[in-house]
Structure 1
Amino acid sequence: MSKELEHSFVTELENNQNIVHKICTLYTNDSDAHNDLFQEITIQLWKAYPKFRGDAKFSTWMYRVALNTAITLYRKSKKSVRTIDYDSVIFKIKADEYDATEEQQLKLMYKAVKQLNDIDKALVFLYLEDKNYTEISETLGISEVNARVKMNRIKTKLRTILNP
């Protein structure tokens, strides 16, 4: 791979790494697993980058590769049940912006989202990233109508989980 292509990849990855971190947070329960998944996604992005044609935005392509990698690894490891102590989750919020109620709501939301199946998690993630249904459907490889229907069903399911 040329130095120019390598530089381009590193720049794009650095500019969009938060996408990968958010996906890792959804599909892992501890920092070691998070780091392992981040590394695996980076490797898969690196391997696939020479085939990136630029038909879509880099971030859209990155979502697709990252989510597919996370889902594949999640399915392989789904046989063992892992838990996390939500009190140990570190949120990087400035002290003057700290809101205990908001933090508790975030913890509950992550806990509820982790109960969804892998495709539904990906859909919620993209929805929370303010992606429109066209972008969501392109990223997940489903129709826009299917994305909308699934999202409505997921919202109902999350309400049930959060308000039993």
Structure 2
Amino acid sequence: MTAHADPQRFQTLLRAHERIVFKVAALYAAHAEDRRDLAQEIGLQAWRSFARYDERRAKFSTWLYRVALNVAISQLRKSDGAQGGRLEPLEQHHLDGIGGEPVPEPDERLAALYAFIGRLDALNRALILLYLEDKSHAEIAEILGISTTNVATKIGRIKQTLRGQMAGAAATGD
């Protein structure tokens, strides 16, 4: 059944899944103000698209991830064009204050993981976010619109690269 533009139903669903919006905003926007702006834009675009949401085709969380990632990637591309394509690596301090709750201090390995994720391109960043959320390869494929085989291949490559970077950092003492 296709969703009707029912504001109360939309707000209930969005509130129940707001962590998705905050996580995507945190992963694609480095500064608190940019995260708030991105979260608002995601909410706005989700509302505009809600009338086309079909609960027979996808769970709300899957649909919301797709909307949120599309908005975030579009915003990232716009800002990259304005900044000459420069991406700022995601650091732990970028995640502070999401949802009003402080994020605990990470250990060095977690900080290195955040930095690594921040250097990934937009698609791989989305992919690893979903992977770290314990989404299945099939769910990730559905959200990102790529094949399950492609998901498995990309995750394998990301893990291999990460292992290499972590081993290199350990060897140099970084």
Indicate whether the TM-score tops 0.5: yes
Of residues 59, 69, 72, the one that matches 1:70 is 72
Query: Per-residue deviation at 1:83?
Result: 6.3
Partner of 1:105: 109
Higher helix share: 1
C-alpha separation in 2, matches of 1:74 and 1:50: 26
C-alpha separation in 2, matches of 1:12 and 1:86: 29
CA contact (8 A) 2:91 2:115 kept: no
Moved more, 42-51 or 105-114: 105-114
Q: How does 1:39-58 map to 2 (within 5 A)?
A: 39-54=40-55, 55-58=57-60
Q: How does 1:1-164 map to 2 (within 5 A)?
A: 5-54=6-55, 55-79=57-81, 80=83, 81=86, 82=88, 86=92, 90=96, 92=101, 102-164=106-168
How big is each residue's C-alpha offset from its partner over 1:102-155, in whole Å with a ceiling of 9 and x where there is no partner? 444332211110100000000000000000000000000000001000110011
Query: Per-residue deviation at 1:158?
Result: 1.8
CA contact (8 A) 2:89 2:119 kept: no
CA contact (8 A) 2:140 2:151 kept: yes
C-alpha separation in 1, matches of 2:144 and 2:93: 32
Count how many residue pairs are aligned between Structure 1 and Structure 2.
Answer: 157
* Secondary structure at the counterpart of residue 163 of structure 1: helix
C-alpha separation in 2, matches of 1:84 and 1:131: 22
CA contact (8 A) 1:9 1:46 kept: yes
Partner of 2:171: none
C-alpha separation in 2, matches of 1:160 and 1:57: 36
How big is each residue's C-alpha offset from its partner over 1:48-86, in whole Å with a ceiling of 9 and x where there is no partner? 001101121000000001001101111111142446774
Backbone CA RMSD of aligned residues: 2.3
CA contact (8 A) 1:24 1:34 kept: yes
CA contact (8 A) 2:21 2:42 kept: yes
C-alpha separation in 2, matches of 1:135 and 1:88: 27
C-alpha separation in 2, matches of 1:147 and 1:104: 28
